[in-house]
């Protein structure tokens, strides 16, 4: 009797596992862009909160302006270009934040004055 119960429970778990592990639908380029845009904007805001935003992310004086150009590319339907630009912007935002954190206590230390 115990053996039948164990087999029944094992079989039930196997069936439940098979039905729960259906393959996920791959994300479209537009969906990938939307997810990347949200990540990048969050990273940019985090860097900006520490005054660590690098120039080429979105500054008006920069010729590169990766974030605005990514949004423009997506509006034109070029999601591949937009994803490449967002990747650069996200990297720069993350590195800008790390740099700002590493240098937050930097400055002239005038000891003994």
Domain ranges of the chain: 27-102
Phi first, then psi, for residue 80 (nearest 5°) are -65, -45
Give dist(CA 110, CA 92) in Å, integer: 32
Is 60 exceeded by the pLDDT of residue 54?
yes
Least confident of 16-25, 80-89, 95-104: 16-25
pLDDT in tens, 9-50: 555 555 555 555 567 889 999 999 999 999 999 999 999 999
| pLDDT attached to residue 105 | 86
Q: What is the CA radius of gyration of the chain?
A: 24
What percentage of the chain has pLDDT greater than the value 90?
66
Tokens 């005038």 correspond to 110
Q: What is this structure's pTM?
A: 0.73
| pLDDT attached to residue 22 | 65
């Amino acid at each position: 009797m115990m053996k039948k119960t164990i087999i029944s429970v094992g079989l039930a778990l196997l069936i439940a596992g098979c039905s729960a592990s259906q393959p996920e639908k791959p994300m479209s380029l537009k969906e990938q862009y939307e997810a990347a845009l949200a990540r990048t904007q969050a990273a940019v805001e985090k860097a900006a909160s520490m005054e660590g935003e690098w120039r080429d992310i979105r500054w008006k004086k920069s010729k590169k302006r990766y974030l605005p150009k990514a949004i423009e590319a997506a509006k034109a339907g070029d999601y591949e270009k937009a994803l490449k630009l967002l990747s650069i912007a996200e990297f720069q935002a993350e590195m800008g934040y790390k740099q700002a954190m590493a240098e937050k206590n930097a400055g002239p230390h005038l000891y003994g004055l």
